[in-house]
Amino acid sequence: MDASLNERLGALAASVRVVSPAFADAVDRLVGRLQKANVGAGAPDVGDLLPPFHLPDEDGRIVSLPSLLERGPVAVVLHRGHWCPYCRINTRALAQAGPRIEAAGGQLVAIMPDRQPYASAIRVEAEADFPVLTDMDNGYAMSLNLVFWVGEEMQALMKMAAIDLLEYQGNEFWMVPVPATFVVARDGRIKARFVDPDYRKRMTIENMLAAFGA
């Protein structure tokens, strides 16, 4: 757990390639398809206003971007879901970096399309003290141009691995967001962003701290 976030993510990706080469190859094909289509390229960029949200946390309380910004800059982190081990690693790393982020004057909020029980689970398992919000049917992620269909091949492999998005999301669309992080200043404008259709990669803690001015 002393390894950096990228080292942890890389170790997981390497283990998947050893344990299930077929699954790893399918991921490579999916990522290639998304990159070729420039999925995520239309998301808000540095200098843009991040569209506001009003979403429920794991206890059903509505959390909004404007209310968070009243307290200071915030990193808005979009996850695929509790079912994604890369998202769980990322959430854990963010929780561990919480004191450093707070010392830099920042705060965190996570958003994912999972129903509230799974939003609560990822938060509890990571020992996170930041809210995890439910974006039902990927509505907010769609407004950011970050949603894509996983495709028939990946859908079949996920089902074989007992990952059924109907259970997690409450719908049969098999749509997920591109993992993304937006560091937003108090005026609502994006200071830094990380958007990559390769979900095995995430914004580093160091880059997030730099965006907060640490």
Tens digits of residue pLDDT in 134-173: 999 999 999 999 999 999 999 999 999 999 999 999 999 9
Residue 45, C-beta contacts closer than 8 angstroms, at least 6 positions apart: 190, 193
Q: What is the DSSP letter of 48?
A: S
- Which contiguous run of DSSP H or E holds residue 30? helix 21-36
pTM: 0.95
| Residues 76-120 pLDDT 10s | 999 999 999 999 999 999 999 999 999 999 999 999 999 999 999
- Per residue in 21-37, pLDDT (tens digit) is 999 999 999 999 999 99
**Distance of alpha carbon 209 from alpha carbon 105, whole angstroms:** 9
- pLDDT band at 6; cut points 50, 70, 90: confident
For residue 162, the number of C-alpha atoms closer than 13 Å in the C-beta half-sphere is 0
Domains of the chain: 5-212 (3.40.30.10)
| 116 token code pair | 């509230």
Residue 87, token pair as written in the block:
């998202």
- The letter for the amino acid at 76 is V
